[in-house]
């Protein structure tokens, strides 16, 4: 079976939230949907953590890790924070 994609999981999570916000689910259905949403959100968080670690590896320069924020403090250029 193919590995689930982050984007597909995010779409599933958005659909669960939409259904729950409509307020037409029974308590049992809501609890089941909530449980599924928790599983999907953990999957997404794990994928994001792995992506962040890959970015950090790609930013290694001369055996020193230089983690850069995407925005500087003033919203301008990235800055080194290592």
pLDDT, tens digit, 9 for 90 and up, residues 21-44: 999 999 999 999 999 999 999 999
Number of domains the chain is built from: 1
pTM of the model: 0.66
Predicted pLDDT at 26? 95
* Within-domain flag for 39: yes
Q: Which domain holds residue 32?
A: 6-51
- Which is higher by pLDDT, 60 or 57? 57
Average pLDDT, the chain: 81
Beta bridge partners of 61: 64
With a cut of 50, say whether residue 82 has pLDDT above it.
no
Q: Does 6 score more than 70 pLDDT?
A: yes
Q: Is residue 80 part of a domain?
A: no
77, 70 Cβ separation under 8 angstroms = no
Q: Is residue 76 part of a domain?
A: no
């Amino acid at each position: 079976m193919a590995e689930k994609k982050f984007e597909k999981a995010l779409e599933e999570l958005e659909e669960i939230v939409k259904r729950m916000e409509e307020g037409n689910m029974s308590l049992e259905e809501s609890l089941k949907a909530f449980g599924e949403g928790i599983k999907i959100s953990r999957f997404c968080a794990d994928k994001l953590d792995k992506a962040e670690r890959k970015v950090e590896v790609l930013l290694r320069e001369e055996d020193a890790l230089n983690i850069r924020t995407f925005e500087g403090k003033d919203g301008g250029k990235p800055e080194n924070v290592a």
